[in-house]
Structure 1
Amino acid sequence: MSRSLLAAALIVAAPASAADTRAIEAHTRFLSDDRLEGRGMGVRGHEIAAAYIASQFAAIGLTPAGTDGWMQRITFQRRSQAAERETLTLARGAEAVFVNGPDLAVGPGTAAGPETIQGSLVFVGFGLDAPTLGIDDYAGLDVRGKIVVAISGAPLGLDSEVGASLAASKSEAAAKRGAIGLVQVRSAADVVRRPWDKIGPGARRPAFNWLNPDGSIDPSATALRFAATANDRLATALFDGAPTTFAAVRAEVSASPIARPKGFALAGTLRLDRATSLDRITSPNVIGVLPGSKPVLRDEVVLLTAHADHLGIRPHPSGDTIYNGAQDNATGVAMLIEAARDLAAGKRPARSVMFIATTGEEVGLQGADYFARHPTVALPRIVSEVDLDMPILTCSFGSIVPYGASHSTMGRDVAAVAAKMGVKISPDPQPIEAIFTRSDHYRLVRAGIPALFIKTGPLDDRGGNGCGAADKAFRATQYHEPSDDMSLPFDWQAAARFTDLNVALTRRIADAKHRPRWYAGDFFGETFAPGVAKAMK
């Protein structure tokens, strides 16, 4: 056989829908290169990444769908600590002073200059508020004008995704009841998950919130005057003189997955002293759309997203200060680009597909939140979202964990696609991590859009737990570290398979006769899309 015929035969033999492993690797290599300086939001490296992504979208033939061509540029308020230190003073006759970093983690304020915030204390259990579930940890407690103290997380007996959402909404629940501040004391499980040496060093870093196009600040960003996390020394002191000690509260929570300690007043007052400086930066979401092929459906939009930002440049004991973010999330963006190429090259989906490389995920899902509040298409036109964020690609996966799939008819689509590819579906292997609320899809969920986030699961392609071990190793040694770089043992064939899976899922949703629907009675659908038609489970 001639060389040209052999080449043609190899091309024919390759799976027509398989993503290009070399392209995924090339995108990942470029986006995680040291010269992109960790793709920190608002800095040159992220702007270079955004320009690269836009150029790829253009080459594929997508249509620009930002507010300025490919870009949806967002203005952010950067809030920085402006004093030498921030202190929390507990007064009960004598005063005890606790310092930001060693003893607690509290961010800067939202107003420039020095400020003092003071109030009496109320323990509110987990601090959860979910009327549709019959949960009200504030029942019988007066917290108006006070500082509430809550246990971190949620009872493990709750559905892990519902619990994660409630835990992420504690500041909102406290503000709704009139509290001025929130201090979270950590459960034993939380301490194991994140030792204080992973929290304290970041306590004085800048914080960010986006601004509306008219320059105004979102009221939710200022509803609560401060939120802090306490180490065990401060937590113990907060409960001195209370009906129950902090150790007893923590033991009660550890002993039962359904324990929900009742609240009570705590003795004394708490005073936060800090100063804040403010400035502004801008950073873009990059957005392109593949118009749908069916006139009756092309006005409806399926979102496929991945965050392009990472942690930038920071001091590190190793001397390597560039947080390259190869797995988190250069790989996700690489797969987003190749998914767009695959969907554009074949038969076009019936519905339009919008591809968004978001900014600000690492500082609170900011870019996704801005898009959900200021979408570049009317929100009712968006039928669903699929998010690509940090699949573990150092292992050939045999299962997936589809976070969010059980709450809407998208779960049926995931099951069908996984079965066709011979991939099993695993339950959430680490509910304590609250992963459901930690990626961009969650902001679309809160906007009422059925959304899911697929992670590679614990099973490897031989049925063993190799990918679970790979995930554990990555989280222990490379997650949010400079060592998340191209020296990792990537399995690019696994990356291609994962891309194929998400392409197949996106196409199935985009071609379906009916748009995805929340299930009737589901917590997320009833809470965030109460007036929308539901499906029976």
Structure 2
Amino acid sequence: MKNYLKILVIVLFISCGNDKKDPPILVEVSQTTIGHHIERLASDEFLGRKPFTEGEVKTVNYLKDEFEKLGLLPGNGDSYFQDVPMVEITGTPSENMVISGKNGSFNLELLKDFVATTNKVVTDVSLENSELVFAGYGIVAPEYGWNDYEGMDWKGKTAVVLINDPGFKSGDSTVFKGNEMTYYGRWTYKYEEAARQGADGLIIIHDTEPAAYGWNVIESGWSGARLIIENDLPLLNVESWISSESAKKMFDASALNGQDYKTISRKKGFKPIPLELNVSVEIKNKIKRDVSKNVVALIPGTDRKDEFIIYSAHWDHFGIGKAIEGDSIYNGAVDNASGTAGLLAIAEAFKKSNPTKRSIVFIAVTGEEQGLLGSAYYAEHPIFNPKKTVANINIDALDSPGKMKDLTITGYGHSEMDAYAKDAATKQNRYIIPDQEAEKGYFFRSDHFNFAKIGIPALYASGSYEGFDKNIEEVKAYNDYYRINKYHQPSDEYNPETTELSGVQLDLQLFFNVGLKLSNEDYFPKWYDGSEFKAARE
């Protein structure tokens, strides 16, 4: 009887042990894999990875093949692709924008002084002696008691507005969100609002500090072919930027008579001011309709396979454009071969780990550089139920001079993803901080924004403030150099002998660790009270 009981206990112990799942294996995201894929995707072979080009064909097929090699399943039924129908508008503006008034006229020179585009799918658009009206920041925000368009019929008029919002450098945290840019400060919002008001056109005044990039970014980003997704929303005839120097010339010739237009724009109760000037400019367009691709791959879960963690990164850049120092290929090594390579490296790590309870999705989206188009299309046509999508971890433009002590979270304070990030950062002996440059509006400038808009808590973060081996000033100098000299320029290239990837690897490891934790529990991270995205989730 004693021997029988011993055998029974052993059998029961073995049976119980076999019922238990093995704990998840915490594998290392490979720095070699990261470097290999950045080098390939940022090579001239991929022609700058612009949608609707041979570079897109090469890029999306490369990603599909690499996901397939890793053993990931197609993420959209039996396909690795989600079609994203777009229109390519190649606009040729007139060489001059003419500003005229009672005291004469002067010309602004294309690219040097202004850029002009349109989202109207027509062959010819123009502003013909359209009345110029200064509309402050171009904002209608009832929750802040703000309306820069109030009291004027905007038909036949062109608004002139400042970039960013009234809180920028105001020194007052009660003005909008203080120095943190709201969506009202983004150029995308400003064009949308002017169209809703019925204006013919909008001119945004460029200023490097509140825009967070120089005029060279405007030149490269707002010239040549542009992509849009057609919809039924109102559109302007002309969307334009002018340089700050050109704006000064305009205001000096206007009815403002030397008033400080920046100061008066900050005052609550500002009303639009006719400038007693007119603007004329024409754009001739070539129209091409085609289909771009989001690339979608899936690792199915086990117990909770109908719940999803989505990793996202945009694969696109600017293709071949204006030559700078003899180089016309905009390779986009940091922006965003780094994030796209990160998707592949994290997918490889999950395949080396134990199966997860929840499913893991990898989406390389198109058209981010054209206005977050691929993620916007996915948000309108989600493959995976947003209510069952646990979280989004977005990867964009990873770059650092080494391993970072910090993890800077863009959009800190919105959701419990902050807590997941903090837990993972602490285990790496790092600390988390909010975005130290919130005035630059990075929260609205990458694809996590579109996931957040449909209620999916999102993490968008990177080490970018203080290094283990580099102090705060050294890291800032490194980041400033990239922003001034490489951001959206042909010089954003990859050199395997000089590019430091240890910090990129550390960030990607953290993203993997956060996803691994989420994928093996049954909890859904929540939006915090006060976040504008909470209502969409609920």
Equivalent residue for 1:413, pick from 405, 411, 420: 420
Cα displacement string for residues 143-183 of structure 1 (whole angstroms, at most 9, x for unaligned residues): 35532221111122544796242222122222233333221
Superposition map of 1:135-284 within 5 A: 135-154=146-165, 155-156=167-168, 157=173, 158-159=176-177, 163-168=181-186, 169-187=189-207, 189-190=209-210, 193-200=212-219, 203-210=222-229, 217-220=230-233, 222-240=234-252, 244=256, 248-250=260-262, 262-266=270-274, 267-284=276-293
| TM-score, length-scaled by structure 2 | 0.84
CA distance in 1, matches of 2:494, 2:385: 39
Report the identity percentage. 25
Question: Tell me, what secondary structure is at the counterpart of 2:126?
Answer: strand
Q: Distance in 1 between matches of 2:507 and 2:256?
A: 50
Residue 15 of structure 2 is matched in structure 1 by none
Q: 2:495 aligns with which of 483, 487, 490?
A: 487
Aligned equivalent of 2:476: 468
Q: Letter of the 2:494 partner, please give it.
A: M
**More displaced, 122-131 or 92-101?**
92-101
What residue is the counterpart of 1:350 in the other structure?
357
Give yes or no for contact 1:368–1:440 (8 Å, CA) kept in 2: yes
Tell me the C-alpha RMSD between the 2 structures. 2.8
Partner SS, residue 484 of structure 1: coil
**What's the offset of the Cα at 1:305?**
0.6
Say if 1:474 and 1:96 are closer, same or farther in 2 by CA, change over 3 A. Answer: closer
Structure 1 counterpart of 2:225, one-letter code? P
Structure 1 outlier segments of 4+, above 6 Å: none
1:279 partner letter: K
Aligned to 1:3: none
Would the alpha carbon gap of residues 160 and 30 (structure 1) be closer, same or farther in structure 2, given more than 3 Å must change? farther
Task: Give, as a single letter, the amino acid of the residue that structure 1 aligns with 2:113.
Answer: D
Q: In the comparison of the two structures, how many residue pairs are matched?
A: 501
Does the C-alpha gap of structure 1 residues 231 and 401 become closer, same or farther in structure 2, counting only changes over 3 Å? Answer: same
1:40 is the counterpart of 2:50: yes
Q: Match for 2:135: what amino acid? A: V
Shift of 1:425: 1.6
Identify the residue that residue 16 of structure 2 maps to in structure 1.
none
The 5 A counterparts of 1:422-441 are 422-441=429-448
Q: One-letter code of the match for 2:181?
A: G
Q: What corresponds to 1:128 in structure 2?
A: 139
Structure 1 or 2, whichever has the larger Rg, is 2
Q: CA deviation at 1:58?
A: 1.5
Cα pair distance change 1:383/1:131, threshold 3 Å: farther
Q: Report matched runs for 1:479-518 at 5 Å.
A: 479-487=487-495, 489-518=498-527
- Does 1:341 pair with 2:348? yes
SS at the partner of 1:485? coil
Shift of 1:476: 2.5
Question: What amino acid maps onto 1:227 in structure 2?
Answer: E
CA deviations 1:281-304 (Å, max 9, x no partner) are: 332111011222223xx3222210
Q: Which amino acid aligns with 2:458?
A: A
CA distance in 2, matches of 1:508, 1:44: 39
Matched, 1:52 2:78: no
Distance 1:85 1:450 in 2: 45
Contact 1:160 1:434 in 2 (8 A): no
Q: Post-superposition shift, 1:39?
A: 1.6
CA contact (8 A) 1:109 1:275 kept: no
Q: Is structure 2 residue 466 aligned with structure 1 residue 447? A: no
TM-score in terms of structure 1 length:
0.85
